[in-house]
Chain A
Amino acid sequence: NAGVTQTPKFQVLKTGQSMTLQCAQDMNHEYMSWYRQDPGMGLRLIHYSVGAGITDQGEVPNGYNVSRSTTEDFPLRLLSAAPSQTSVYFCASRAGTRRGANEKLFFGSGTQLSVL
């Protein structure tokens, strides 16, 4: 199993550009989520999904879009990049209730995004 795979690892954008951060997991996890991590702010939840076709907002959803068309993939779209979106982005997944009690959260290795 590859676990949680994020691409790209690094990205530089200009203000106003759009892009998609990719996240895929091969563990058949129901729950997937996106966090951003900024110095002094900790990990903040952007969006999350409890299954294909179901998404919900986290703490800081503005400027980001998500969709969940398959169990495996949960892409994060930046609609019009702003310097305030410069951050490290992490995707994470875990099994849902049908998988039993072991619900550890598994993280991808992160995407370092700079918006100029």
Chain B
Amino acid sequence: KQEVTQIPAALSVPEGENLVLNCSFTDSAIYNLQWFRQDPGKGLTSLLLIQSSQREQTSGRLNASLDKSSGRSTLYIAASQPGDSATYLCAALKTSYDKVIFGPGTSLSVIP
């Protein structure tokens, strides 16, 4: 059974810092891994999707990496801004027709 965990549960940083959010999964046989952002009271927005054959994906100030052998993914946020404050969730998909399992999320607060 796939289990997804995220560390830390909460993070508070001053504006401008670079930061790393961690995601771990127990079953390394994943199809893809996604990172999402959720603002309070809102739905989830997909940020980056990494296929199992890829090592990383980049979008603007965001970079996500995937290491299947160690069961880990990281989301790197460069030059953090107050607008980055949100909850970040990772989710693993085992096969193309399987269910998506989410981690509990990391609540990020960027202080001006």
Residues of A within 8 A of B (CB): 31, 33, 35, 42-43, 45, 48, 50, 56, 58, 90, 92, 94, 96-97, 101-110
Complex partner residue of B100 from A42, A45, A96, CB under 8 angstroms: A45
Q: Cβ of B44 < 8 Å from any Cβ of A?
A: yes
Complex partner residue of A58 from B36, B96, B97, B99, CB under 8 angstroms: B99
CB distance from A37 to the nearest CB of B (A): 9
Q: Cβ of B43 < 8 Å from any Cβ of A?
A: yes
CB distance from B51 to the nearest CB of A (A): 6
In the assembled complex, which residues on chain B have CB atoms less than 8 Å from the CB atom of A110? 42-43
A96 touches B42 (CB 8 A): no
B44 touches A42 (CB 8 A): no
Q: Cβ of B71 < 8 Å from any Cβ of A?
A: no
Binds A, one of B10-18, B76-84, B102-110: B102-110
In the assembled complex, which residues on chain B have CB atoms less than 8 Å from the CB atom of A102? 49
B99 touches A33 (CB 8 A): yes
A90 touches B43 (CB 8 A): yes
New A-B contacts (7) at CB < 8 Å, excluding given A42-B89, A92-B44, A104-B46: A33-B99, A42-B103, A97-B97, A103-B49, A103-B96, A105-B91, A108-B43
CB distance from A48 to the nearest CB of B (A): 5
Complex-state Cα separation, A51 to B103, whole angstroms:
25
Complex partner residue of A105 from B46, B51, B97, CB under 8 angstroms: B46
Interface residues of A, dominant DSSP: strand
In the assembled complex, which residues on chain B have CB atoms less than 8 Å from the CB atom of A43? 44, 89, 102
Complex partner residue of A42 from B34, B51, B105, CB under 8 angstroms: B105
B: contact size bracket: 20 to 34
Contact of A105 with B34 at beta-carbon distance under 8 Å, contacts A43-B89, A96-B96, A110-B43 already known: yes
Complex-state Cα separation, A47 to B19, whole angstroms:
35
Taking CB as reference atom, which chain A residue is nearest B54?
Answer: A101
In the assembled complex, which residues on chain B have CB atoms less than 8 Å from the CB atom of A50? 97
Complex-state Cα separation, A43 to B97, whole angstroms:
19
29 contacts between A and B (CB under 8 A): A33-B100, A42-B102, A43-B102, A45-B100, A50-B97, A58-B99, A90-B43, A92-B44, A92-B100, A94-B100, A96-B96, A96-B97, A97-B97, A102-B49, A103-B49, A103-B93, A103-B96, A104-B46, A104-B49, A105-B34, A105-B36, A105-B44, A105-B46, A105-B91, A107-B36, A107-B44, A107-B45, A109-B42, A109-B43
